[in-house]
Structure 1
């Protein structure tokens, strides 16, 4: 269910999160009366959000905004007419002490949108005398419904937007989000059970705005295909890629991944400059898997396993599969299950190659692959067209094995007129920590020329194919 489309060119983002308690007493199980009561409760929530008790607190800062009190702001150095970008000076970073003073540290420039995170809060005290409580007793059968609504709204802001303008737009989006939550909850309500709608933000291909969609909590993606098809039709998207699966939700730059793996380290690299050349890259998000991770000492034998894990992470993080990235033993067991290896293979330190990677992808993920043969490394320079077409049409990481080594190809820079080529290589032989600077500066993820390949060794490439699903 689409809540809002925020045009922003993905500049800076105001993001407000919080929770609102939905509580209502149902005196009847009649459907119309239940809907009326729930709608009245949502109306009260919207009124509360638009009342003077609504408070927005900028996270990791002393900044507090009362958006419905003629946009009152503290500290006193700020005012409603202050530009939003000035708020970054008040936000504490991990390296700074948490204090009430303005930070003197300048923000580091980044191509990713900067996010100003706010908490939605409510004043719990009111000025003036409180009315005396009134108690009454009635004997009546009723149902008490209670749930917590997750609030997550985004507003994209420009360099000229003031705190007042951004706050007013946030309240408008928040009010619309509550209306959408009401419709979604009534649609999925069964008996006296409420299904909580959860918001997800998506950045669609070639779009310059975020789209917010609600999915009922606890309902897996496999049961939401009809809703996704409706979204694909609304946004004129092809029905062969899972743009609206939960795994494809937009990842904000200031949010860390909990599993500890680096994502897309190649984005920190500068593209090679080839005469009349074009760059063709992996599409989407993957995790960098390499030697010695997961408390597993596979140094010297596990490079193809790690390349396979990187590929599996791509299918997981694009929403094609929900299973976690397989371990070495799970990979080995899959090869035993398909009859490729003997039972003694499980727990061993035996190498695998591109054919085994192909078999595991098919067995565990239901993913088919193409195998490209290269009789000697000196021929890799002539594979620009095939690899460019792969990254254009499929966009998946490519596993390449030759001799006793395996690598992952994430893209090519190739000139159709001159034949010049560079390969974007993710090297699974790295044994260090998840340090992006070391990995990119030392070439563990980097652009390599044709001389990178052993001219006399043969190579096989496994090119995974995207399933045609939404």
Structure 2
């Protein structure tokens, strides 16, 4: 999960539909392409016209950028001042209905709606109705425009609008390329803009893909993007599952993502922080209408690991249910058929087997004869999070947990573990989960000092 530095920067995102309408009098492929191209030229001219309107969501601010009309603000209004006009969830929760937030709190994502004025000033001519009989094909598609720009709070609204209009124009050019490339007969595949967060300093980039086309069919295009942005081919960056999730948008499945990001990290002498890389879902007891309290902790830890591989774009299958996990263990010969539907525990070896069978993911197993030895595993755990970055399942006795990171001092040997606890039975309440320690930093005494532990360390596939 990426946290925008709300004290210094913000993302401006403009979205809205543009209607592509083409009257095709011929089925000749070349003529059809020319008509579609002319239609895209018209759309780009609309974006540059005085009818283009940008409405700031959750506010009364409306901007006509090509007429230099900025409604209730001025062209020199800073982004920080503009954000003060936006009604936020925090205001709604406390019943504040003021037009302007005078406390100056920050907004990390500023959403705008792209609209087009359809009425013109002045007297309108009388309508004229004519009738023409001829055979033609009417092609219509709704283009889902979606552009983002990164700004600082000192940037002016004038500058931001200029950049947004440039982004919209460029996106229409990319959409035209996609539309013509995937034109089949008189059928048009709708272009789909997606945003991807690349490693620093590249940041957030937007790519247009043809909607409905599988990632495997886009391998050539994705390889070109890896070369364009000088990215390695050993991990996915441009699969749809890797699309950036904006912090102001809820996840539809209801699971919490990365609850650890709001925690304060412990400070150790000469200590360094090593954390899970990417996004995972928090799976715990009693979710999905399944009563697994007392026996399903390792299943839930496994589900969290599976969610990581899914949300990093390595696999496409959904997170397996308890029954699917049990069936996988039967299929590989690890358990008898009677295991399916039971309430029997599983451990790290079973987690390794399921990952390999269902996701084709290999894992390393770390054996620890007693819990007191975990304090000496700082180097191995730090190296795992540095190179692989996947969640670790740890099982000992009848308990299982997920390790999301460590802070470790090479000089003193001190270590703290970031633990995601699957034994939680409550609602998806981030405050409760973090304040009560269901996701939190633990010391070496967290482990039973005399119990043995097995750790399953999933390995990241070298694919793109």
TM range (shorter): over 0.9
What CA distance in whole angstroms lies between the structure 2 residues aligned with 1:145 and 1:353? 57
* Aligned ranges 1:403-418 → 2 under 5 Å: 403-418=397-412
The answer (yes or no) to whether the contact 1:378–1:454 under 8 Å persists in 2 is yes
Q: Distance in 2 between matches of 1:229 and 1:172?
A: 26
Match of 1:397 in 2: 391
Tell me, in whole angstroms, the C-alpha distance in 2 between the residues paired with 1:323 and 1:46: 39
Could you tell me how far 1:135 is from its partner in structure 2? 4.2
Q: Which moved more, 1:305-314 or 1:176-185?
A: 176-185
1:98 deviates by 8.3
- TM-score normalized by structure 2? 0.95
After superposition, residues 10-409 of structure 1 pair within 5 angstroms as 11-70=9-68, 72-75=69-72, 78-94=73-89, 95-96=91-92, 101-104=99-102, 106-107=104-105, 114-409=108-403
Structure 1 alignment gaps of length 5 or more: 1-7
- Which structure 2 segments of 5+ residues have no match? 1-5
Return the offset for 1:184. 1.4
The 8 Å contact of residues 60 and 98 in structure 1, kept in 2 or not, is answered as: no
Give 1:419's match in structure 2, choosing from 413, 434, 438: 413
Q: Is the 8 A contact 2:8 2:153 kept in 1?
A: no
> Larger deviation: 90-99 or 297-306?
90-99
1:3 alignment partner in structure 2: none
Aligned-partner SS, 2:43: helix
Aligned match of 2:3: none
Q: Is the 8 A contact 1:91 1:103 kept in 2?
A: yes
Note the C-alpha offset of 1:140.
Answer: 3.3
Say which is worse superposed, 435-444 or 34-43, in terms of deviation.
Answer: 435-444
- TM-score normalized with structure 1 length: 0.94
Distance in 2, matches of 1:169 and 1:314, equals 34
Shift of 1:104: 4.0
Q: Is the 1:9–1:209 Cα contact (8 Å) retained in structure 2?
A: no
Once the two structures are TM-superposed, the CA of residue 209 in structure 1 deviates from its matched residue by: 2.9
RMSD: 1.8
Q: Could you tell me how far 1:278 is from its partner in structure 2?
A: 1.1
1:385 CA displacement: 1.2
Q: Is the 8 Å Cα contact of residues 87 and 99 (structure 2) preserved in structure 1?
A: no
- Equivalent position SS for 2:400: strand
d(CA) in 2 for partners of 1:268, 1:209: 21
